[in-house]
Structure 1
């Protein structure tokens, strides 16, 4: 016959194992959810951009007497926001960090203040996010986007630093 304390200990052990398994599943689901949200965001932006371009083309066809120089360029706005606008513009000479959305600006500023390259898991707490797998993966995606657009460099896998030709080249602080 099993004693009551032994039975309680066995049940506690089984419950602890179940909790650990569920926590592992929750972490995996959080990562998958973050990736799905990023995919959805890219698709929404693409759809909105296409709709805007088609609307502008239709308007230009309807008003043939509008001169080409009267149509504003997509990259003329200093602070991009709104429907169909690329939220992280490609870096070019003279473009400042202030044009980036807040979280991207925070990431660039943290990297600018760092003495060397940083990993996503080091950046997450410095921008005020909890150090969960989902937040780290989301931040890694943002870092990769900043690399693609010329704001950052990834010299070694997972090691992010300011782009040598990018904002603050030769300076330790982006401000």
Structure 2
């Protein structure tokens, strides 16, 4: 006969597997969403540029230029009032941007790396941001690290080793916020 503890452990293990599968699915969908948003953005910019060039040409009375058809008005995207899991946006880094604009977990990752004495691996970061050091969490964090590299917040100086891309310009770290000046 199976004890109550063994049954609970089995159910916990099954729930953990389901959660990990859902997290992997969310990561995949998020990646696809980011790709599609980039395609959409490029197409929108291209259409706007072509419309501008055609408008400038038509102002010069260039013969043979077909009139520009009005673009179909796209519905404005609905901005959620609450955070939606799987739709986290990490902005591209630019001068003057601080970690305040990042979602909490990304900000924690950048701050941990900024406080480190050298480049770090995902497995070193996971426990420092309060997650259990299990494969699923390490891989999820590695995906976030890669996204932060793509967006210019971090660099990957060696495969799997991440460091700040802009030391000292990403905003204050957790340690600097907590340090109110000590007198020894």
Aligned to 1:29: 21
**Please, which runs of 5 or more residues in structure 2 have no aligned partner?**
59-78, 80-88, 173-184
Secondary structure in structure 1 of the residue aligned to 2:149:
helix
Answer yes or no: is 1:119 the counterpart of 2:121.
Answer: yes
Supply the distance in 2 between the matched residues of 1:101 and 1:172 (Cα, whole angstroms).
13
**Pairing partner for 2:110 from 108, 111, 127:** 108
Supply the distance in 2 between the matched residues of 1:98 and 1:173 (Cα, whole angstroms).
5
Supply the distance in 2 between the matched residues of 1:63 and 1:105 (Cα, whole angstroms).
43
1:136 Cα deviation from its structure 2 partner: 4.3
Q: CA 1:105–1:62 in 2, change beyond 3 Å: closer, same or farther?
A: farther
> After TM superposition, what 4+ stretches of structure 1 lie above 6 angstroms from structure 2?
none
Secondary structure in structure 2 of the residue aligned to 1:115:
coil
Q: CA 1:52–1:173 in 2, change beyond 3 Å: closer, same or farther?
A: closer
Secondary structure in structure 1 of the residue aligned to 2:56:
coil
Question: What value does the CA root-mean-square deviation take over the aligned residues?
Answer: 4.0
**Pairing partner for 1:40 from 32, 47, 54:** 32
TM-score, normalised to structure 1's length?
Answer: 0.54
**Please, which runs of 5 or more residues in structure 1 have no aligned partner?**
1-6, 67-81
Answer yes or no: is 1:89 the counterpart of 2:92.
Answer: yes
The number of residue pairs the alignment matches comes to: 140
1:22 Cα deviation from its structure 2 partner: 0.8
